[in-house]
Amino acid sequence: MKVFVLNCGSSSVKYQLFDMDNESVMAKGLVERIGSDDAILTHRPEGRQPVKQIGPILDHTTAISKVLTVLTHQEHGVIRDVSEIGAVGHRVVHGGEAFTGSVLITDEVKKALRDCIDLAPLHNPPNLTGIAAAEELMPGVPQVAVFDTAFHSTMPRRAFLYPVPYVLYQRHKVRRYGFHGTSHRYVAGRASEILGRPLEDLKIISCHLGNGASIAAIKGGKSIDTSMGFTPLEGLMMGTRSGDVDPGVILFVMDREQLTLVEANAMLNKHSGLVGLSGLSSDMREIEAGMAQGNPRAEDAFDVYEYRIRKYIGAYAAAMNGVDVIIFTAGIGENSPLLRQRVCEGISFLGVRIDPAKNDVRGKEADISAERSAVRVLVVPTNEELVIARDTMEIVSSRGAREHAATEARA
Ligand code: ADP
């Protein structure tokens, strides 16, 4: 079966087409600047030159329609006809408390997703627009929603409740949800395969360090805590997001600087984190370059970033009463030996030892622990799209099997 994976943002659509017979990527790409006259479609057919098209793309339906055109293009395409696509898998950011796993998209599911809009006002509307566009362009093709939050639905109440008036949870569902669940689930599964040990036996701490960053405590294959909370702003310091700060700081600054809600939101989400502290960049490569030139604010930014990861690792080792595996993933986790080295140096009390030669790796799966390390330390490139494609395939196939069984029973 060919599965088309879509990740629709407010002005972008990322896609991958999988051949699930061998889990290979046939093509992937990105439409950026949707809503403008100079939107950019970059299409990468596997093993061939990428193609770039620039022109007006005013909405998501047009964007996905252009993607389907290029996927079936005589020269750049990888399939003859759209009808070869057996199913569509959508990344959906927020499933609220309603969704604890991936689901086939039905009218009821769409209604429940609309009910979650309040919880993710920036993310869920474009996800819903993408679903509507795909339904319009590929009528009858089953569609599946895979949620960023679902993997963390196993968190116990002590991990997801905030110590604020309980009525806020009852009235507005104010609680911790967690994000990046698809990534944490994938890398934990890979860790179990790499180490040849069942997930059920492992206590894993996975560090997803991209532009957004979160860390998860995964015990016996289940997320029992994670650093992002009600929104993806809580937890680790990130490229442009603050992560944990004293809530009192926000109230104080809003008062002193006379900030509106919108301005305070921008301060914490766009102007904080690596870029806020360094004044240089949200890109870890530029922070590391700044450190190499002796820039003290770049050093501060790196130190705070690293220290906070280390504190969370300590906390999650306590949450699980131990740790067997630490995983580094996403842009920074996969590509920064320096960050991994600094984090691991500071947690040697847990029995963590890495091998400097093995740690000299970028963007590849590797066990970077030293022989004598009590904790395995792994680099695992994440693959959220593959998880979405697998879930989609599984749900659609089991639905097919159920329908077949029902038809047989009727016959
Ligand atoms: P997103 O969360 O948008 O998917 P990524 O997972 O691609 O982001 O991660 C982006 C981050 O990865 C950026 O901060 C970038 O600096 C960092 N990164 C990429 N390559 C390197 C590298 N070689 N060294 C350090 N950081 C890197």
Query: What is residue 28's DSSP assignment?
Result: E
Residue 148 is a catalytic residue: yes
- Check pocket membership of 285 for ligand 1, CB cut-off 6 A: yes
- Check pocket membership of 335 for ligand 1, CB cut-off 6 A: yes
90-101 residue pLDDT tens:
999 999 999 999
328 CA to centre of ligand 1 in angstroms: 12
Confidence at residue 224, expressed as pLDDT on a 0 to 100 scale? 98
- Check pocket membership of 339 for ligand 1, CB cut-off 6 A: no
**Contact present, 359 and 341 (Cβ < 8 Å):** yes
Closest residue by Cα to atom 21, ligand 1, is: 335
Which has the higher per-residue pLDDT, 72 or 406? 72
Active-site residue, selected from the candidate residues 19, 148, 225, 360:
148
- Check pocket membership of 330 for ligand 1, CB cut-off 6 A: yes
Atom of ligand 1 nearest to the CA of 288: 25
Distances (CA, A) of 394 to 144, 161, 188: 10, 32, 19
Q: How far apart are CA 214 and CA 233, in angstroms?
A: 10
Q: Band the pLDDT of 60: cuts 50, 70, 90.
A: very high
148 CA to centre of ligand 1 in angstroms: 19
282 CA to centre of ligand 1 in angstroms: 9
Please give the order of strands across the beta sheet that includes 366-367: 222-226, 213-219, 203-209, 325-329, 376-379, 366-367
How many Cβ atoms sit within 10 Å of the Cβ of residue 135?
16
Q: What is the DSSP string of 117-132?
A: GGG-TTTHHHHHHHHH
215-264 residue pLDDT tens:
999 999 999 999 999 999 999 999 999 999 999 999 999 999 999 999 99
**Across 152-181, average pLDDT:** 97
The H or E element containing residue 251 is helix 247-256
pLDDT at 207 over 80: yes
- Check pocket membership of 210 for ligand 1, CB cut-off 6 A: yes
H helices, E strands: number in the chain: 15, 14
Least confident of 78-92, 108-122, 237-251, 271-285: 108-122
pLDDT at 116 over 90: no
Closest residue by Cα to atom 7, ligand 1, is: 331
pLDDT at 80 over 90: yes
Least confident of 116-120, 133-137, 153-157, 265-269: 116-120
Distances (CA, A) of 88 to 82, 111, 163, 342, 354: 11, 19, 40, 41, 41
What does DSSP say about strands 325-329 and 203-209: parallel, antiparallel, or unpaired?
A: parallel
Least confident of 18-27, 55-64, 116-125: 116-125
**Contact present, 306 and 288 (Cβ < 8 Å):** no
pLDDT at 319 over 80: yes
Q: Which two tokens stand for residue 370?
A: 């030293």
Which residues have CB under 8 Å from 38's CB, separation 6+?
54, 55, 56
209 CA to centre of ligand 1 in angstroms: 8
Q: How far apart are CA 302 and CA 179, in angstroms?
A: 23
**Across 4-10, average pLDDT:** 94
**Across 280-295, average pLDDT:** 97
**Contact present, 247 and 236 (Cβ < 8 Å):** no
- Check pocket membership of 332 for ligand 1, CB cut-off 6 A: yes
pLDDT at 408 over 80: no
Residue owning tokens 């329609």: 65
**Contact present, 65 and 57 (Cβ < 8 Å):** no
Query: Which one of 284, 309, 340, 342 would you pick to mutate in the ligand 1 pocket, going by the greatest count of ligand atoms within 8 A of its CB?
Result: 284
Confidence at residue 320, expressed as pLDDT on a 0 to 100 scale? 98
The H or E element containing residue 40 is strand 36-45
Which has the higher per-residue pLDDT, 236 or 399? 236
Provide the angle, in degrees to the nearest 10, between the axes of the packed helices 247-256 and 261-269: 130
31-53 residue pLDDT tens:
999 999 999 999 999 999 999 99
Q: How many residues does the chain have?
A: 411
Closest CA to 365 of 223, 187, 182, 198: 187
Confidence at residue 123, expressed as pLDDT on a 0 to 100 scale? 82
183 CA to centre of ligand 1 in angstroms: 15
Confidence at residue 158, expressed as pLDDT on a 0 to 100 scale? 98
Provide the angle, in degrees to the nearest 10, between the axes of the packed helices 124-137 and 60-71: 50
The beta strand positions in 60-104, using DSSP E, are 85-92, 103-104
Half-sphere exposure for 64 (CA within 13 Å, toward CB): 26
Query: What is residue 369's DSSP assignment?
Result: B
pLDDT at 407 over 90: no
Confidence at residue 402, expressed as pLDDT on a 0 to 100 scale? 77
302 CA to centre of ligand 1 in angstroms: 14
Closest residue by Cα to atom 14, ligand 1, is: 283
346 CA to centre of ligand 1 in angstroms: 22
Confidence at residue 229, expressed as pLDDT on a 0 to 100 scale? 97
What amino acid occupies position 207?
Answer: C
Q: How far apart are CA 320 and CA 236, in angstroms?
A: 19
Please report the domains of the chain, with CATH numbers, ordered by start residue: 2-147 (3.30.420.40), 197-380 (3.30.420.40)
pLDDT at 135 over 90: yes
- Check pocket membership of 283 for ligand 1, CB cut-off 6 A: yes
The beta strand positions in 182-271, using DSSP E, are 203-209, 213-219, 222-226
Confidence at residue 124, expressed as pLDDT on a 0 to 100 scale? 85
Average pLDDT over all residues of the chain: 95
Q: How far apart are CA 25 and CA 299, in angstroms?
A: 39
CA–CA–CA angle 300, 305, 306 (5° rounding): 100
Confidence at residue 409, expressed as pLDDT on a 0 to 100 scale? 73
322-334 residue pLDDT tens:
999 999 999 999 9
- Check pocket membership of 336 for ligand 1, CB cut-off 6 A: yes
Strand partners, 88: 4, 143
Helices within 116-233 (DSSP H only): 124-137, 157-160, 166-172, 181-195
pLDDT at 405 over 80: no
334-362 residue pLDDT tens:
999 999 999 999 999 999 999 999 999 99
Confidence at residue 400, expressed as pLDDT on a 0 to 100 scale? 78
- Check pocket membership of 211 for ligand 1, CB cut-off 6 A: yes
The alpha-carbon radius of gyration of the chain (Å, integer) is 22
Q: How far apart are CA 41 and CA 255, in angstroms?
A: 44
